[in-house]
Amino acid sequence: MKIGAREALELWRGALVETVRRSAPDLTARQQAVLFCVYLVPPPHTVRGLARELKLRKPAVTRALDRLEETGLVRRRTDPEDKRSVLVQRTVKGSVYLSEFGDLILRAARAIP
Amino acid sequence: MKIGAREALELWRGALVETVRRSAPDLTARQQAVLFCVYLVPPPHTVRGLARELKLRKPAVTRALDRLEETGLVRRRTDPEDKRSVLVQRTVKGSVYLSEFGDLILRAARAIP
DNA sequence: ATAGATTGATACGTATGCGAAACGTTCTAT
DNA sequence: ATAGAACGTTTCGCATACGTATCAATCTAT
pLDDT tens across B42-60, in order? 999 999 999 999 999 999 9
**What's the pLDDT score for residue A60?**
96
Query: A31-83 pLDDT, tens per residue?
Result: 999 999 999 999 999 999 999 999 999 999 999 999 999 999 999 999 999 99
Give CA–CA dist B61/B54, Å, rounded.
9
Q: Which nucleotides of D are covered by protein (CB under 7 A)?
A: 6-11, 16-21, 25-28
Q: Using CA coordinates, name the residue in chain B closest to A111.
A: B1
Inter-chain CB proximity B54 and A21 less than 8 Å: yes
Whether omega before B80 lies within 30 degrees of 0, making that bond cis, reads: no
What Å distances lie between residue B15 and A30, A33, B103, CA to CA?
12, 9, 10
pLDDT-based confidence at B95, cuts 50/70/90? Answer: very high
Residues 6+ apart with CB under 8 A from A68: A27, A31, A34, A35, A74, A94
Amino acid at B57: R
Instruction: Say which nucleotide is closest to residue A63, CA to C1' distance.
Output: D17
